[in-house]
Amino acid sequence: MVDFVDLHCHLLFRVDDGAQDEDAMKKMIDIAYSDGIRHICFTPHFKIFEFEDEEQMHFHMGRLDRRFKVACDYVNEKYPDLKLYLGNEIMYHADISDSLFNNRCHFLGNSSYALIEFPPDCTGFEIENTIIKLLRKGIRPVIAHIERYSAFIKDPSLAESLRESGAMLQVNARSVTRFKLGRIASFLKSCFKKKLVDIVATDAHNDSSLPPRLSNAYEVISKKYGQEYANDVFCRKPLSILLNEKKF
């Protein structure tokens, strides 16, 4: 059994639309652990437009730290071999680098990688522009759930060119098991076939419809594209990000 790494999930309680209380978070941690996940990076949403001013953002950061400590205390006691990290899923806005460097939101763990989300109808031009700007500032972007963006589905070569530029591409575990036919399924198939996908993560929001489980998707990828590649995208690559390794 391999140790899974979940780089994108909403387990931290009462900070976004993920776990709604401490018990819900603990239940989700239990599920993740029993599924074989041994590294979890909490990535609560960061949407700059939800805050009125700088003070509110810094207050929110303090809240994340306090909730994260509750999670760490629980895990240290119950699952000493489970490692936790704090990050954010950062919604696209004008100056993401400014937000990161001014501590309004988190990189992934203590790395120089950041998880970036775009609106589903964002244009390829806007996505490319944002990624290039981040790379120029020394931030290594991980693009969250690439299967959600119409720009990628319409033009799959965008995924390839962004990856060549230095972005890393993440797909949700649920999309791997859910989409069997249609445009999203064929987009994902071509990405996995070319080994363009760097990370599969849960994007878990609850314990039922979006639970923190990776094992089912791991089986699918392992069977279709080989165990070595499955180990890369479920374990080695996401861990190399959290350890801030330069190259995989």
Q: Which residues bind Fe ion (CB under 5 A)?
A: 89, 203
Q: At residue 3, what is the residue type?
A: D
Query: What's the closest the beta carbon of residue 227 comes to Fe ion, in angstroms?
Result: 27
Query: What's the closest the beta carbon of residue 201 comes to Fe ion, in angstroms?
Result: 8
Sign of CA dihedral 71, 73, 74, 75: positive
Q: Of 11 and 235, which CB lies nearer to Fe ion in the complex structure?
A: 11
Q: Of 43 and 240, which CB lies nearer to Fe ion in the complex structure?
A: 43
Q: How far apart are CA 111 and CA 19, in angstroms?
A: 25
Residues in the chain: 248
**Closest residue to bound Fe ion by CB:** 203
Sign of CA dihedral 46, 51, 54, 55: negative
Q: Of 92 and 229, which CB lies nearer to Fe ion in the complex structure?
A: 92
Query: What's the closest the beta carbon of residue 9 comes to Fe ion, in angstroms?
Result: 7
Q: Of 35 and 203, which CB lies nearer to Fe ion in the complex structure?
A: 203
Phi, psi values for residue 46, rounded to 5°? -125, 110
Query: What's the closest the beta carbon of residue 10 comes to Fe ion, in angstroms?
Result: 6
Residue 214, Cβ density class (10 Å: 0-12 exposed, 13-18 middle, ≥19 buried): buried
